[in-house]
Amino acid sequence: MTRDLPTSVPMNSDDSSNLRSALWDELARREPNDPHAWALSHRRFGDQRLVHLPALAAIARDDHPFVVIQKSAQVGVTELLVNLALWTADTGYAERGNVLFAMPTQNQMDDFAQARFDRALQDSPYLRARLQPEPPLRKGADSKRLKHLGPGWIYLRGADSRRQIASVDADLVVLDEFDQMAEGTIELARKRLASSRRGMLRVASTPRYPEAGVNALFLQSDQRRYFLPCTACGLEQVLAWDANIDSERMLLVCRECREPLDPRVEGRWVATAPGNDRIRGYHLSRLYSPWVNIRELVEASTATTPAALQEFQNSDLGEVFSPPGSGLSLDLLDRCRREYALDEYAGQPCDMGVDVGIKLHVVIREHLFETLFERGGFRQRRSGNLPRLWFAAEVDNFLELGALIKRFHVQRCVIDAQPEVRLAMEFAQRHGDVVTLSYYGRSELGHELARNPNGVRICHANRTQALDEMAGRFQDGNAELPRDARQLGGRIKDGAGDYYRQLLAQQRTVERDSTGNWIARWVDNGKPDHFAHAEVYCLLADVVAEKSRVGFYFL
């Protein structure tokens, strides 16, 4: 008997259904280390068994230590992970059978445990018999957060409690909906496997942001794609929305002959980045589900709002999504370059933006105002010049910032007030109205200027709006860069220095807030973005000048 035998049985009669069930039971008996055969034999939905899907079977049988699954919603991966957890405990995998199954929060985990784990135990006579301890001491489906099945234990935890996760030694760790978990969860999870003889880590999620979360892990993996054969022409193909959906016939079709495709046909996973063998990565969309409603997907694909389009890409196709105009690009920055060099600076008045961290990241651009004499006094007005870049680099301390103010005749400097609050405040007090301290956090539209009790100018900025305005300055071609801008910031990698790379780190996306409303946000995908914020503060220097110039005279 082989693992493939059940797929060769006809699916259109009760006799064939009984035969398939008998074959899976026999395969599970002969190969107890096959988690897919175990699930087909022992799991139930009511009085029905699971359906064999070849694409999921291969993932379930993968014994690689680190598997990542970038998935759409409702494609069967979460049920696969539940089955793997139950199999691990029931068979005493790695001589213990201990499982840590985590979701983003404990409240989510408690609801999930009742809907999925308790239901699985209640529906299967085999699993009920394997629960410990035996009746009458056992009550219900076991405790909400701990299941003792066979020789193993299943710990059901929320990733929001690091303490509860850190207390578990496991042979299998499952992180479901990983993109909603806090930074550092992977590292914590891997430590829970340190005592296992054959530890396995399984990470699954619908993706959210490019090169972040599950997508970042998938890009580090061997990036397996499922090639489904066409039974009409024989072409093996990775299913893609534009190539395989016939929106007129509402069918999944072959990209070559346009005949209907059957997702239940046996295909094969192919590693498209085979050198990345540290992580085994799978990508699976709803197009591979035999139960997918094509008409609903076609309707979802016609959405016009960024939020709805993101939902379609993430939840239906399992792909990341960056809405149009969602961030800066290498080409966009290159188109801002002009034929000049930084050493051609000739003493023009400038504005300065400073992002504060371990180092101070500084951007200096040409000041956009000129001073006129009127009615016995001086007035500032816009000069009509573009904010040409004259300096972009790291400096070590606030003393160097003071030297830059003198060297570039800085008129307005906006500096990040945090995290070095004391040093930033002392710097602002030394330089008077030239320096403004900036805080993100304003929720209302617009940026508010005020003074603190020490007389220091304070700018309360709307972070999303400020990043929108900064990106818009580049998108409109109004942020001139020198001809060698790709070298700025040093540490050249893939033809670009830190300045370019940190501007590209910020991406604009839309997501639901705590009340369920869609809001725009800029995210850095875990990458350094200091020069992006320095550019924001340099733009806010222009805002400070604009708000200050109305009725502003000095003698």
138 — pLDDT class (breaks 50, 70, 90): low
Task: Specify if 314 maps to a domain.
Answer: no
Same domain, residue pair 277 and 350: no
Q: What is the CATH number of the domain that holds 476?
A: 3.30.420
Task: Specify if 295 maps to a domain.
Answer: no
pLDDT of residue 372: 37
> Which regions of 121-249 does DSSP assign to beta strands (E)?
146-149, 152-158, 172-176, 200-205, 224-229, 236-238, 245-246
Cα 282 from Cα 318, distance rounded (Å): 11
Cα 369 from Cα 282, distance rounded (Å): 55
Domain C-terminal end among 283, 317, 341: 283
375 Cβ contact list (under 8 Å, min separation 6): none
Contact yes or no for 352/410 (Cβ under 8 A): yes
Mean pLDDT for 319-339 is 81
- The reply to whether omega before 136 is within 30° of 0 (cis) is yes
Cα 185 from Cα 8, distance rounded (Å): 42
Cα–Cα–Cα angle for 37, 42, 43, nearest 5°? 100
Mean pLDDT for 457-481 is 89
- Give the residue with greater pLDDT, 262 vs 32: 262
Domain C-terminal end among 225, 248, 283: 283
Task: Specify if 154 maps to a domain.
Answer: yes
Contact yes or no for 52/112 (Cβ under 8 A): no
- Give the residue with greater pLDDT, 21 vs 426: 426
Same domain, residue pair 74 and 168: yes
Cα 511 from Cα 351, distance rounded (Å): 34
- 423 dihedral zone (left: phi>0; alpha: psi -120 to 50; beta): alpha
Mean pLDDT for 515-528 is 76
Q: pLDDT (tens digit, 9 = 90+) per residue, 378-392?
A: 344 444 567 899 999
Task: Specify if 170 maps to a domain.
Answer: yes
pLDDT of residue 102: 95
pLDDT of residue 126: 93
- Give the residue with greater pLDDT, 496 vs 281: 281
Q: Which domain holds residue 54?
A: 5-235+270-283
Mean pLDDT for 388-413 is 94
The mean-pLDDT minimum among 140-149, 213-222, 358-367 falls in: 140-149
Same domain, residue pair 229 and 336: no
Same domain, residue pair 376 and 500: yes
Task: Specify if 307 maps to a domain.
Answer: no
Same domain, residue pair 275 and 341: no
pLDDT of residue 553: 28
Contact yes or no for 157/177 (Cβ under 8 A): no
Count H helices, E strands: the chain?
19, 23
429 Cβ contact list (under 8 Å, min separation 6): 454, 456
Residue with tokens 């924001």: 536
Same domain, residue pair 34 and 164: yes
Of 202, 125, 531, 509, the closest CA to residue 326 belongs to 509
pLDDT of residue 373: 41
Task: Specify if 296 maps to a domain.
Answer: no
551 — pLDDT class (breaks 50, 70, 90): very low
Run of H or E including 457: strand 457-461
6 — pLDDT class (breaks 50, 70, 90): very low
Q: What is the CATH number of the domain that holds 196?
A: 3.40.50.300
Same domain, residue pair 402 and 277: no
Same domain, residue pair 276 and 373: no
Cα 407 from Cα 43, distance rounded (Å): 74
Q: How far is CA 78 from CA 31, 59, 203, 295, 408, in A?
A: 23, 12, 10, 24, 58
Task: Specify if 252 maps to a domain.
Answer: no
513 — pLDDT class (breaks 50, 70, 90): low
pLDDT at 266 over 80: yes
Same domain, residue pair 337 and 227: no
Same domain, residue pair 350 and 278: no
Predicted TM-score (pTM) of the model is 0.67
- DSSP 8-state assignment for residue 525: T
Give how many domains the chain has, as a whole number.
2
137 — pLDDT class (breaks 50, 70, 90): low
Same domain, residue pair 231 and 371: no
User: What's the CA dihedral at 171, 177, 181, 187 to 10 degrees?
Assistant: 30
28 — pLDDT class (breaks 50, 70, 90): confident
The mean-pLDDT minimum among 53-62, 116-125, 368-377, 433-442 falls in: 368-377
Residue with tokens 């109205």: 433
Same domain, residue pair 334 and 210: no
The runs of H, that is alpha helices, within 384-528 are 398-407, 421-431, 463-475, 498-505
Phi and psi at 403, nearest 5°, equal: -65, -35
pLDDT of residue 7: 37
pLDDT at 187 over 80: yes
Cα 373 from Cα 313, distance rounded (Å): 57
Query: Collapsing DSSP states into helix, strand and coil, what is residue 44?
Result: coil
The mean-pLDDT minimum among 102-116, 238-252, 277-291, 434-448 falls in: 434-448
289 Cβ contact list (under 8 Å, min separation 6): 74, 75, 76, 263
pLDDT at 48 over 90: no
Q: pLDDT (tens digit, 9 = 90+) per residue, 162-179?
A: 888 888 899 999 999 998
Cα 535 from Cα 555, distance rounded (Å): 31
Task: Specify if 189 maps to a domain.
Answer: yes
Mean pLDDT for 209-223 is 87
pLDDT of residue 515: 66
Domain C-terminal end among 222, 248, 283: 283
Residue with tokens 């790695």: 94
pLDDT at 461 over 80: yes
pLDDT at 4 over 60: no
